[in-house]
Amino acid sequence: MSDFEYQSGFRNQFATEALPGALPEGQNAPQRCPYGLYAEQFSGSAFTAPRSHNLRSWLYRIRPSAAQSAYRPFEVGQLSTAPDSEVAADPNQMRWDPLPMPQAATNFIDGLFTMATNGDAGTQIGCGIHLYTLNADMTESFFYDADGELLVVPQLGTLVLRTEQGLLEVAPGEIAVLPRGLKFQVRRAAGTDAARGYICENYASPFELPGLGPIGANGLANPRDFLTPTAYYEDTQGEFELIAKFGGKLWAAELDHSPLDVVAWHGNYAPYKYDLARFNTINTVSFDHPDPSIFTVLTSPSDTAGMANIDFVIFPPRWMVAEHTFRPPYFHRNIMSEYMGLIHGTYDAKAEGFVPGGSSLHNCMSPHGPDANTFDKASSEELMPQYQGNTLAFMFESRYVFNPTPSALSAGFRQHDYVDVWHGLHSHFKPDAH
């Protein structure tokens, strides 16, 4: 049997046990739990949240989470949390090459690098955008984030996410979402020497599937394609460390056992993964572009309808068939702020300079669009049906302006000449032509 067993469905009411009969029958907190386990509720919403938005799971574990030492401050180099007032928001378009891979042994926590933040983690608004690199496993250390849930987007190398609620294997082309407060460990899958990717730390309402509106009942990301792990536990004693991100800072506590000791659990608050190749892309079959919102996989709503705290949008392989249409993304200025990354292949709006592992930032109302070479080519090519296959780009789009971190602004991998990609866009105006 594979180490990775999953349950299908988006935020279902799951029930799973690693030992038969470990889940109590008919109640959540019996006087004595089966196998001498402790019952612990893991809540991702207020107790009185509407039933449709109430998130909680019951965990049945060997030792309760409270069995640990006191926390002490824990220092790590280049991790930031909003509000970050060191740098003012910047209207300039920005782009970066991939974060260089580490030379020294670096695990997931050591390799976190914050690119930008917005909102305020303390008031549960906005998000943080991080890069990760790693070439070593977490073995004696574990991590949880009390400031937000983590959307993990691998770009290079396959990860094994060992969590309280089970094991997930996540490869480039897939994503994983780790709920706020979930304890986990990141290791490399077999055959992966080093890994790199992107993380959106969502401070606000948990990600959900977007409404489909006139699309109808089917399309985009289908709920059945989201996979949640089955129960897995280890009963291991030793010297371990639990690192917590809380209030924008890191804290550490000592444990004398592995916290991955949940023998059974049930509920709808749990980690999940999704294969982006299963996204059912919707596109035009006549003319012009639908807005990029049609590519939304997950959304974290804000208190204003239609203006997301954060949207996760992808640009996957798809057919381009629009007639009489400039097919790359059009020039635009947007009230939403856009952070973009490239998982593999090429992006159709940039002929060069935007490479896998790289990223770009176009803040609110900052103009952007195809570079000069892309514009010239797309304006004159024959409009035959074309399959755009070698591509997978994504966007973290937010109603809040992103503040780049000082580390991101001064990084050696920043492309300081990015704005030059539009310098070749000369006037083609001919007042006498029609």
Binding-site annotation: residue ranges for Fe cation: 332, 338, 368
Q: How far apart are CA 356 and CA 284, in angstroms?
A: 27
Annotation: binding site for homogentisate: 347, 368
- Which residue type sits at 31? Q
Active site residue 289: yes
End-to-end CA distance of the chain: 69
How far, in Å, are 162, 166, 167, 374 from residue 234 at the CA level? 11, 10, 12, 53
Q: Which amino acid is at 325?
A: T
- Of the candidates 130, 257, 266, 289, the residue annotated as catalytic is 289
CA distances from residue 124 to 183, 187, 198, 205, 210 in whole angstroms, order as listed: 20, 29, 21, 8, 20
Distance in angstroms (rounded) separating the CA atoms of residues 110 and 102:
10
Cα dihedral across residues 128, 421, 98, 344: positive or negative: positive
What are the helix and strand counts (H, E) for the chain? 2, 28
What does the buried/exposed string (b/e) look like for 155-167 if buried means 16 or more CB atoms within 10 Å of the residue's CB? bbbbbbbbbbbbb
Are 112 and 386 a contacting pair, CB within 8 Å?
no
Q: Where are the alpha helices (DSSP H) in 232-306?
A: none
Residues annotated within the binding site are: 332, 338, 347, 368
Read off the tokens for 360: 């770009």
C-alpha torsion 421→153→312→330, nearest 10 = 20
Rg of the chain over CA atoms, in angstroms?
23
The angle formed by the CA atoms of residues 330, 336 and 339, to the nearest 5 degrees, is 80
Beta-strand (E) ranges in 181-305?
184-188, 195-202, 226-229, 237-246, 249-257, 262-267, 272-275, 296-300
**296 neighbors 220 (Cβ within 8 angstroms):** yes
Which pair of structure tokens corresponds to residue 383? Answer: 């409009």
Catalytic residues, by residue number, are: 289
